[in-house]
């Protein structure tokens, strides 16, 4: 799936879920849902965020960059950040470095791990982005399950899991999936405001 598909599905479905759950939707909510919706593709050297992070977009450079960031975080992070968060961040950075595409960052385990990390972040610094960021990740996984390759949803089990109906990246099918998500979201919103 393309970046714009992930951002559209991330923002629309997350805001719909928030509306159903009675959570107010703020600009921060929208931004964090959008970032969460492209976060899982950090495992791909040509993923949207890696286009900004990596100087060279290949697997070896991705590994080196994220291991270097994990090392910097381990040695210099404790000066500025609570040690509990450092442990999480070193694990997350090293995992991104080593991970294959659509494996741990596209799994339920990965989503829960990030939610726990964000919970610790909130408890230490009062930065509460748990719900939008995690919802963004979940919508990314959901959208990628329409890829013919599927995702390793139950990582560490390596079985690729996807929907029986698949679409190829950038094709008309992807636009259709995007459209279906927008319609579902619109219906949820209209119901929330008792307009249908």
Nearer to Zn ion, 41 or 174 (CB): 41
Contact track, Zn ion, 114-153, x by CB under 5 A: ------------------------------x---------
CB of 185 to Zn ion, least distance (A): 20
Contact 54, 45 (CB under 8 A): yes
Q: What's the Cα-to-Cα distance from 47 to each of 11, 26, 119, rounded to whole Å?
A: 18, 27, 26
Contact track, Zn ion, 30-59, x by CB under 5 A: ----------xx------------------
CB of 153 to Zn ion, least distance (A): 12
174 binds Zn ion (CB under 5 A): no
CB of 19 to Zn ion, least distance (A): 25
Q: How many residues does the chain have?
A: 196
One-character DSSP codes across 2-37? -HHHHHHHHHHHHHHHHHHHT----HHHHHHHHHHH
Nearer to Zn ion, 71 or 170 (CB): 170
Q: How far apart (Å, rounded) are the C-alpha atoms in residues 178 and 108?
A: 22
Nearer to Zn ion, 121 or 152 (CB): 152
Nearer to Zn ion, 86 or 104 (CB): 104
Contacts with 151 (C-beta within 8 Å, 6 or more apart), sequence order: 102, 103, 106, 107, 141, 144, 145, 160, 161, 162
* Cα 108 from chain centroid (whole Å): 11
Residue in this structure with the two tokens 């995007």, named with its chain if needed? 178
Nearer to Zn ion, 73 or 101 (CB): 101
The pair of structure tokens assigned to 57 is 């977009």
CB of 189 to Zn ion, least distance (A): 26
Nearer to Zn ion, 23 or 49 (CB): 49
How many residues touch Zn ion under the rule CB under 5 A: the total is: 3
Which residue from 7, 3, 51 is spatially nearest to 31, judged by alpha carbons? 7
CB of 44 to Zn ion, least distance (A): 7
Interface residues with Zn ion (CB under 5 A)? Answer: 40-41, 144
């Amino acid at each position: 799936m393309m970046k714009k598909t992930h951002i559209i599905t991330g923002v629309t479905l997350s805001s719909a879920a928030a509306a159903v759950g009675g959570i107010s939707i703020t600009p921060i909510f929208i931004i964090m849902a959008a970032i969460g919706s492209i976060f899982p593709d950090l495992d791909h050297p040509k993923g949207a965020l890696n286009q900004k992070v990596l100087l060279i977009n290949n697997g070896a450079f991705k590994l080196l960059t994220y291991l270097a960031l994990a090392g910097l975080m381990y040695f210099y992070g404790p000066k500025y950040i609570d040690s509990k968060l450092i442990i999480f961040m070193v694990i997350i950075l090293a995992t991104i470095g080593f991970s294959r595409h659509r494996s741990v960052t596209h799994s339920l385990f990965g989503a829960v791990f990030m939610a726990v990390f964000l919970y610790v972040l909130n408890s230490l610094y009062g930065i509460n982005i748990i719900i939008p960021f995690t919802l963004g990740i979940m919508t990314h996984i959901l959208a990628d399950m329409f890829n013919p390759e599927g995702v390793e949803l139950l990582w560490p089990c390596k079985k690729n899991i996807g929907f029986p109906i698949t679409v190829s990246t950038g094709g008309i099918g992807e636009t259709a999936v995007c459209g279906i998500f927008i319609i579902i979201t619109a219906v949820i919103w209209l119901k929330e405001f008792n307009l249908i």
